[in-house]
Amino acid sequence: MLGRRIARHGLAMLATVLLGGLLSATLVRLAPGFGVDEQQLDPHLNSESIQALRQARMEHRNIFRFYFHSLQRAAHGDLGTSISLGQPVSALLRQRAPLTMRLVGIGLLLSWAGALAMALSAACLRVTAYDALTTAISGMFLCIPAAVLALLSVLWNVPGALAIGLIVFPQVYRYARNLLAKSYSLPHIITARAKGLSELRILFWHVVPVAGPQLLALAGVSVSIAIGAAIPVEALCGLAGVGQLAWQAALARDLPLLMNLTILVTLVTLLANSGADVIGHMLRGQEA
């Protein structure tokens, strides 16, 4: 049963990644400004050199041929060469991924720690004023655009990971709070409370098993939110991660780089979501 579930997820992932890659390549190809190079405005270049520049960009005009060749090369471990940076895409990803992974990892830890602490305390205490306060705090962070949080982190010289954490925090808090509040209002938990069970016992024996699978699903979603947040944070804070690379690639219409980045982000997101789903399924199986 679990094996079939994993296989189904694997197939869905493969299909989504292939389709996502093709769609992103098509969108970049159709974007205005595709196939032009800023360098061709250099007055030192003669007509032959400008034509050569144009010709180099023309190679990717036929999107289906480009995609097919890219997949063929990728099967041999070659992800192509970035047009704007002139370096192999695989090398660029290797150089930049560790920083993004660290930023996203720390950001997720911070956001989840903050959101769970506030959501749990609000659900346990059931004090209207406190609940309103925590909701107002998360609402405030929800209203502040990611770019503003990134700029503030630059201005106040705080780590970019904190900005990512603050961007993800309200999303996690709102779901977690509703989920926990709903779990605490279930009849058997009200009965357990009436019988005088300790809060810790109620939490770990009755609330977590109910809310756990959905929190796991939320964890999967929060990974993609954090990766999305890494783009403006890295671009504005000048952090040399995959997010900054994606930003530069988009501005330069760098087809090979953008396509590989889309595939990578799709893959990570799907892995996180599928992982959460499979673990949730395993937990439910153990309960049954």
Question: Where on the chain is the footprint of another protein (CB under 8 A)?
Answer: 31-50, 52-53, 85-87, 91-92, 95-96, 151, 154-155, 157, 235-238, 240-241, 244-245, 248, 251-253
Least spacing, CB of residue 87 vs another protein, in Å? 8
- Whichever of 179 and 245 has its CB closer to another protein, that residue is 245
Residue 142 vs 240, nearer CB to another protein: 240
Cβ 63 to another protein shortest distance, Å: 17
Q: How many other C-beta atoms lie within 10 A of the C-beta of residue 131?
A: 18
Nearest to 258 by CA among 16, 31, 15: 31
Sign, CA torsion 185/186/192/194? positive
Judged by CB, which is closer to another protein: 50, or 101?
50
Take residue 149 and report the two structure tokens written for it.
């949080």
CB of 84 to another protein, least distance (A): 8
Exposure class string for 65-99: b at 16+ Cβ within 10 A, else e: ebbeebeeebeeeebbbbbbbeeebeebbeebeeb
Closest among 261, 225, 270, 256 to 243, alpha carbons compared: 261
In contact, 11 and 236? CB cutoff 8 Å: no
By beta-carbon proximity to another protein, the closer residue of 162 and 172 is 162
Query: Would you say 151 or 279 has its CB closer to another protein?
Result: 151
Nearest approach in angstroms of CB 31 to another protein is 8
Residue 128 CB, shortest distance to another protein, in Å, is: 39
